[in-house]
Amino acid sequence: MSPHDAVEVIIAKRGGGALSDSQIDWVVDAYTRGEVADEQMSSLAMAILLNGMSRAEIARWTNAMIASGERMDFSSLSRPTADKHSTGGVGDKITLPLAPLVAACGVAVPQLSGRGLGHTGGTLDKLESIPGWRASLSNAEMLAQLEAVGAVICAAGDGLAPADKKLYALRDVTGTVEAIPLIASSIMSKKIAEGTGSLVLDVKVGTGAFMKSEADARELARTMVDLGTDAGVRTVALLTDMSTPLGLTAGNAIEVAESVEVLAGGGPADVVELTLALAREMLTAAGVTDIDPADALASGKAMDAWNAMIRAQGGDPTAALPVARESQVVTAPSSGVLTRLDAMAVGLAAWRLGAGRARKEDPVQAGAGVVWHARPGDTVTAGQPLFTLLTDEPARFDRALGSLVGGYDISPAGTVHSASPLIIDRIS
């Protein structure tokens, strides 16, 4: 006979009470096995969204999700491990140059990544635009690549936190995605089960981020840092701005190309700044304090690690990337200073051009996306290219153009643009 029943657990949380360890362990396990129905778990998720959870409850919930599957172990590696997780944004290609950069500095990076949904891009979608590259690796392949190359970016296996996979899909269709205890436990259950020794979190805040307010982003970051710390994983979080998209591209193949520019010692200043900041945090967390990652970029070591990582997963780093069949240029309607470029507007345009998906099973176009030719603070002239829209299907242009309406401001010449800092705070 079960020690609990779903209605009892729902009522306890609906009433604002704290769930016991036994209740949490039981309901997560029973839901994973199918003993608790979707409608019952969705009711509990709504109660958690409305009434919250204590630090102890969130830690126990996270541990229960970890216990639903396997745990990976990287203790046999000859170097320390560090991972990074971003809560998602627009033009956020940072994982691509970051993983090989940190590997070039002597720290192994087991980066389990996901696919894009809605306006936020997916790391695996970007890498799959490289001919031959594959996202799925066995645990043995992953371990061997970490030892030989130092970096892996791949999909999480089915054995890792299966409770989270089931609950994540449910939250998506029941209006409970925003529950901070469930966001934090979803991210951290996978990261802790993955077995990394240290973790750096990039928590985005702004119009193009999941967390629109700094207070919510700060709460999420603090909750995840606490979860990692309680689990014995050295964890730190950076709060970073996502009101303006990162770099100059949002898409799949075009973001790969921009990442390669960074690895070659160039690339947009904001992408380089955030890549180096996160690399320094990862190296410090892994105990490596005598290497400056900027040197690994300048020397070409990071590029060598990128090439080795792509080849190890079947890709050809020298192959031409896919190019969209159609393009359309949007010109500046007036002269002046670009003072605002809204990340959400750009993200929606890229999504509508085919770079993203509305449902997990939808295909994406490798060549689709948006290139912007100016960033806030730049002077623009009426008629100059402001955006280039890329897609294989010209019928998509109209809706993408609609996304950009009201998505940028051009102020009179001479206007002083005061840029917000890219890195807002550090939480440890």
Q: What is the pLDDT of residues 21-78, one digit of tens each?
A: 999 999 999 999 999 999 999 999 999 999 999 999 999 999 999 999 999 999 999 9
Which tokens hold the place of 214? 């700094």
How far apart (Å, rounded) are the C-alpha atoms in residues 205 and 212? 5
How far apart (Å, rounded) are the C-alpha atoms in residues 290 and 283? 9
Task: Tell me: do 107 and 192 sit in the same domain.
Answer: yes
Contacts 24+ apart (CB under 8 A), 266-270: 267/97, 268/375, 270/246, 270/375, 270/422
Task: For the chain, give percent helix, strand, coil, nearest 5.
Answer: 45, 15, 40
Q: Within its chain, how far is the Cα of 331 from the centroid?
A: 31
Out of 254, 279, 312, a domain closes at 312
Task: Tell me: do 232 and 307 sit in the same domain.
Answer: yes
Q: Which amino acid is at 363?
A: P
Q: Which residues pair with 241 in a beta bridge?
A: 205
User: Where do the DSSP E strands lie in 105-156?
Assistant: 109-113, 151-155
pLDDT at 116 over 80: no
Task: Tell me: do 301 and 379 sit in the same domain.
Answer: no
Task: Tell me: do 179 and 107 sit in the same domain.
Answer: yes
Task: Tell me: do 107 and 137 sit in the same domain.
Answer: yes
The residues carrying an active-site annotation are 85, 164, 171, 186, 190
Rounded to two decimals, the pTM is 0.94
Task: Tell me: do 180 and 285 sit in the same domain.
Answer: yes
pLDDT of residue 292: 96
Identify the three-state secondary structure at position 128: coil
Residue pair 120/92 in contact by the 8 Å Cβ criterion: yes
Helix (H) or strand (E) holding 50: helix 38-51
Task: Tell me: do 371 and 246 sit in the same domain.
Answer: no
Count of other CB atoms within 10 angstroms of residue 413: 12
Task: Tell me: do 268 and 359 sit in the same domain.
Answer: no
Residue pair 296/104 in contact by the 8 Å Cβ criterion: yes
Out of 290, 312, 334, a domain closes at 312
Task: Tell me: do 395 and 279 sit in the same domain.
Answer: no
Q: Report the domain count for the chain.
A: 3
Q: Identify whether 317 is part of a domain.
A: no
Residue 235: half-sphere exposure toward Cβ, Cα within 13 Å: 23
How far apart (Å, rounded) are the C-alpha atoms in residues 116 and 256? 15
How far apart (Å, rounded) are the C-alpha atoms in residues 190 and 165? 10
Task: Tell me: do 151 and 277 sit in the same domain.
Answer: yes
Residue pair 133/125 in contact by the 8 Å Cβ criterion: no
Q: Identify whether 197 is part of a domain.
A: yes
Q: What is the pLDDT of residues 258-317, one digit of tens each?
A: 999 999 999 999 999 999 999 999 999 999 999 999 999 999 999 999 999 999 999 999
How far apart (Å, rounded) are the C-alpha atoms in residues 233 and 195? 9
pLDDT of residue 1: 64
pLDDT at 228 over 70: yes
How far apart (Å, rounded) are the C-alpha atoms in residues 21 and 29? 12
How far apart (Å, rounded) are the C-alpha atoms in residues 383 and 62? 53
First to last CA, the chain: 43
Of the pLDDT bands very low, low, confident and very high (cuts 50, 70, 90), residue 2 is: confident
Task: Tell me: do 105 and 242 sit in the same domain.
Answer: yes
How far apart (Å, rounded) are the C-alpha atoms in residues 105 and 94? 17
Q: What is the pLDDT of residues 230-260, one digit of tens each?
A: 999 999 999 999 999 999 999 999 999 999 9
Q: Identify whether 292 is part of a domain.
A: yes
Q: What is the pLDDT of residues 396-422, one digit of tens each?
A: 999 999 999 999 999 999 898 888 899
Task: Tell me: do 243 and 144 sit in the same domain.
Answer: yes
The enclosing domain of 407 has a CATH number of 3.90.1170.30
**Which domain, by its residues, includes 387?**
326-411
The enclosing domain of 10 has a CATH number of 1.20.970.10
pLDDT at 373 over 70: yes
Helix (H) or strand (E) holding 219: helix 214-230
